[in-house]
Structure 1
């Protein structure tokens, strides 16, 4: 029995070897218009696809000598075609419009020839009404690409009026490009000019006089050349639309209407066509049309750089590419730079500064009570003539006179008190300004970190959308393989729409964050700004050693002393307490004035100089022996002491006592609030420190779980609900991890605001002194 099993095994093995040896070998030749380093991977991908599809039916052979390039020369193209017709090549793959121009004119084809990648629907060089080629040994693929569709979408996106159309120069004499674009632009009612180029260097000089660029060819431009051209267009503020795929949009072009997987679909169709031919189907009977699903892809970095707003009507059908960390902006802020600008330019703070200046004027006004007052008076007098006649010249009928009066306060308890009170109030106003300045620093930092949170959220939402697209691809593959129903595809399509909306909302929230930051910085609302990332332990945030802080707070023997020290520091620094102290000083002085101060007299000196300029009329002449004095002076020392002033002194005294009690209550309440704020701030920091550590673990676990679930779903082992749960869990874990560091910084800045001391704004020496005070405080407690 065992012998029969062995014999059967060898018999089957020999049959398999014989069958393998009997597989027919097909040599495939390739005709191409041009070849670059960028094209080589595509050729390899095509070869691999053909070998994978046909491998069970035949042996596929590719020879480097049978890959022939014409470099856009018609004669060379014809010569290359003849070479493949005469050598051992079994199947010819022809790529490019030059080869298409040669092959399409042939009435018969000696060898099976497949033409692809050559026909845009708007260039009528083939009969697009035929479902098949109808010719023996000839097959071509008609792509659903359309210049017309692209231009309509481009017009909707940017509303251009004078279009530049980039095409390879050699194609101008081969394809009816001018006739095609004449017709298409006439339908859109826009002007255009063809920009032919042989090399990349031909392009930049031809970009004048246009307001948009359509890359209608450029397949053979390298990725570096495409990126360089995209940068030139961005600098010229020219929107761009490419007939090629999303990879070029990632490189910097504004948009494309080609889906990412078009090339895969294209290569798969070619491989299947070869398989059909090998299995006996005539090439002339194969369907020539290949349907692509267009998908608008927009580079939001480019859109922002050239000032193209995203139309919400296009959101549902749009993919976005780009990097939120590389968005072009007119101004990019670091945190310290933002704080410095806000302190110098914030309107609320500037208004508060004016209050300090006004309080300084109040001091000057109070001090002016001790400055001399000089008054000049002049008068003209008319007296009844009968009366004037009997006054012996003392009151003539007509007279003019004048005087100078000098008044000088020598001592006034009220003036002294007012000066002292205004000085205290000025210091209080300065502390109010200091508090406003501390608040502004926190407002700037809070707006800055919140903008970073919104920026990170937009990035994560963008990546989550890409993840949904990937899951949709898996669902489509499962549906094609019969592993899942159509409902899974529909569910992911719905999910993709929701994720797109979430990304749009995240982008708009980010713009609102920039508006808030512009407002606090007193920038024009239209200023396009960006913020630098804040990374713990790097740059200006190096001093935030949260591991060291966590060690202090995690140690029971150090936690309470450290918190008490922070509270003590907050008491010493708080401008709110200093503000109340200076108001208490002013109230104390007012109370003193209305107590014993009321017993102090007011001393003032007054001097006057009088002069009569002229006398006339009746009584203007004195009788003989009676002289008149035209100039005289006098001096007076005044001493006044209020005895009873309608009881206002007692009322003012009682008012001052009530104000003092009120201020003391406010001070106690403020100290209580500071103490609670410090302690709450410390607990918040502990929470955020833990969040930083745990969120990283959570994200890594969620990512690994998602990858495992994706693989399981791809193999049909789990359902769509589990995959969606894994994706949402990963999304939330990313948001938590990214936001943890920023939330820590916000809470740290908030605690510093309560303490009245910002580590970022102080020198290393001052921060070291702060630490030393803690150690001294600790030693004192022990």
Structure 2
């Protein structure tokens, strides 16, 4: 290069055909580049961890068609996951890339010339189909794509400083350590109903997290009422309280008088009664009645006193 040149945004040496010689330098006079330690291979690995895709659509700008061998590159990267790759070149005149019905995940690769509005329309279409999406850049997540791995760069200033001190760019290392962090679009995740692991939730940064998802408004009392209604455990405990009240009434009923009555009616055939010569009446009726009242029982009296004391304990254990 006639002048010192630093290329940034290099995502993959093989895909972008950048010069690389040992020990991880460009080897080209007056030229170096910033190679992320988070290449596309790691993007796909991270995406597959949160969503084990089987048919991945990779969206690339049409103006790169024929310049790089995207198809074999992505097929090789997806092979360890047993996934098929559907390479789609996003044509300039087409508002949205055409995805087949088999697609279950979308990776937005190199589409730098697309505006945030166009990416937003794409994310809307993907959300309508409940398709998880992953991008190479956080700007796409701002526009509505579901997730990316953000890269916080810290080394560019050191390269510029090295140039100012007269160091040869060809000998400067191109690999730099970057801090990596999940960046997720909360609105998109809610819309497609995507489930995330606790590990991802705790380590991620969320965008659009404060966007409302419904126009329904509830008062505090309504929230509590709906929570109690939908909480099965609380409903079971409330039933236990109701049953405790039944136990108290059952205990008191043991002190009430017990009345039992019975009647018996016997009808004999007239001819049989006649042959019995008065020893067998034609009709016989009988009735009995008994009344029982508990006068003293330690067990019954104790149960009547215990049940009112148990019921408040059930109530406190349920609602406290």
Q: TM-score, normalising length from structure 2?
A: 0.64
- Residue 351 of structure 1, CA deviation: 2.4
The answer on whether the counterparts of 1:273 and 1:286 sit within 8 Å (CA) in structure 2 is no
Q: 1:306 aligns with which of 191, 194, 199?
A: 194
Separation (CA, whole Å) in 2 of partners of 1:334 and 1:207: 45
1:287 aligns with: 172
Q: Secondary structure at the match of 1:123?
A: helix
Question: Who wins on radius of gyration, i.e. which is larger?
Answer: 1
Q: 2:236 aligns with which of 325, 347, 351?
A: 347
Describe the shift of the 1:160–1:327 C-alpha distance in structure 2 as closer, same or farther (beyond 3 A): farther
1:336 aligns with: 221
Q: 1:321 aligns with which of 184, 205, 214?
A: 205
2:96 aligns with: 202
1:85-484 superposed matches below 5 A: 115-118=7-10, 120-123=12-15, 125-129=17-21, 131-134=25-28, 139-141=31-33, 143-144=35-36, 145-197=38-90, 198=92, 201-203=95-97, 206=99, 208-219=101-112, 236-245=129-138, 255-260=147-152, 262=153, 265-266=155-156, 268=157, 271-272=160-161, 275=164, 285=170, 287=172, 289-293=174-178, 295-297=180-182, 299=184, 305-310=193-198, 319-322=203-206, 336-337=221-222, 339-341=224-226, 346-357=235-246, 373=261, 375-378=263-266, 393-396=277-280, 401-403=283-285, 405=287, 407=289, 414=293, 436-437=314-315, 440-441=318-319, 443=320
- Residue 350 of structure 1, CA deviation: 0.9
- Residue 293 of structure 1, CA deviation: 2.9
Describe the shift of the 1:369–1:326 C-alpha distance in structure 2 as closer, same or farther (beyond 3 A): farther
Listed as ranges, the gaps of 5+ residues in structure 1 are 1-108, 382-387, 416-420, 444-782
Q: Secondary structure at the match of 1:181?
A: helix
Q: Secondary structure at the match of 1:143?
A: strand
Describe the shift of the 1:116–1:392 C-alpha distance in structure 2 as closer, same or farther (beyond 3 A): closer
Describe the shift of the 1:111–1:327 C-alpha distance in structure 2 as closer, same or farther (beyond 3 A): closer
Describe the shift of the 1:133–1:164 C-alpha distance in structure 2 as closer, same or farther (beyond 3 A): same
Which protein has greater RCO, CA pairs closer than 8 Å, 6+ apart?
2
- Residue 112 of structure 1, CA deviation: 6.4
The answer on whether the counterparts of 2:149 and 2:183 sit within 8 Å (CA) in structure 1 is no
Separation (CA, whole Å) in 1 of partners of 2:248 and 2:268: 43
Q: Secondary structure at the match of 2:46?
A: helix
Separation (CA, whole Å) in 2 of partners of 1:433 and 1:300: 50
Separation (CA, whole Å) in 2 of partners of 1:232 and 1:436: 53
Describe the shift of the 1:114–1:343 C-alpha distance in structure 2 as closer, same or farther (beyond 3 A): closer
1:27-46 superposed matches below 5 A: none
- Write 1 or 2 for the structure with the bigger share of strand: 2
Q: TM-score, normalising length from structure 1?
A: 0.31
- Write 1 or 2 for the structure with the bigger share of helix: 1
Describe the shift of the 1:325–1:143 C-alpha distance in structure 2 as closer, same or farther (beyond 3 A): closer
The answer on whether the counterparts of 2:155 and 2:176 sit within 8 Å (CA) in structure 1 is no
Q: Secondary structure at the match of 2:15?
A: coil
1:516-527 superposed matches below 5 A: none
Separation (CA, whole Å) in 2 of partners of 1:435 and 1:336: 25
Separation (CA, whole Å) in 2 of partners of 1:360 and 1:341: 31
Describe the shift of the 1:340–1:172 C-alpha distance in structure 2 as closer, same or farther (beyond 3 A): same
- Residue 123 of structure 1, CA deviation: 0.7
Q: Secondary structure at the match of 1:174?
A: coil
Describe the shift of the 1:324–1:358 C-alpha distance in structure 2 as closer, same or farther (beyond 3 A): farther
Describe the shift of the 1:169–1:406 C-alpha distance in structure 2 as closer, same or farther (beyond 3 A): farther
Describe the shift of the 1:165–1:328 C-alpha distance in structure 2 as closer, same or farther (beyond 3 A): farther
Separation (CA, whole Å) in 1 of partners of 2:207 and 2:16: 40
Task: Kindly provide the CA deviation profile for residues 575-616 of structure 1, in whole angstroms up to 9, marking residues without a partner as x.
Answer: xxxxxxxxxxxxxxxxxxxxxxxxxxxxxxxxxxxxxxxxxx
The answer on whether the counterparts of 2:6 and 2:34 sit within 8 Å (CA) in structure 1 is no
CA RMSD of aligned residues (A): 5.2
Tell me the number of residue pairs that the alignment of Structure 1 and Structure 2 aligns.
297
Describe the shift of the 1:327–1:240 C-alpha distance in structure 2 as closer, same or farther (beyond 3 A): same
2:297 aligns with: none
Separation (CA, whole Å) in 2 of partners of 1:167 and 1:187: 22
Describe the shift of the 1:192–1:143 C-alpha distance in structure 2 as closer, same or farther (beyond 3 A): same
- Residue 273 of structure 1, CA deviation: 6.9
Describe the shift of the 1:342–1:249 C-alpha distance in structure 2 as closer, same or farther (beyond 3 A): closer
Listed as ranges, the gaps of 5+ residues in structure 2 are 295-299
Describe the shift of the 1:180–1:323 C-alpha distance in structure 2 as closer, same or farther (beyond 3 A): closer
Q: Which runs of 4+ in 1 moved over 6 A?
A: 109-112, 327-330, 361-368
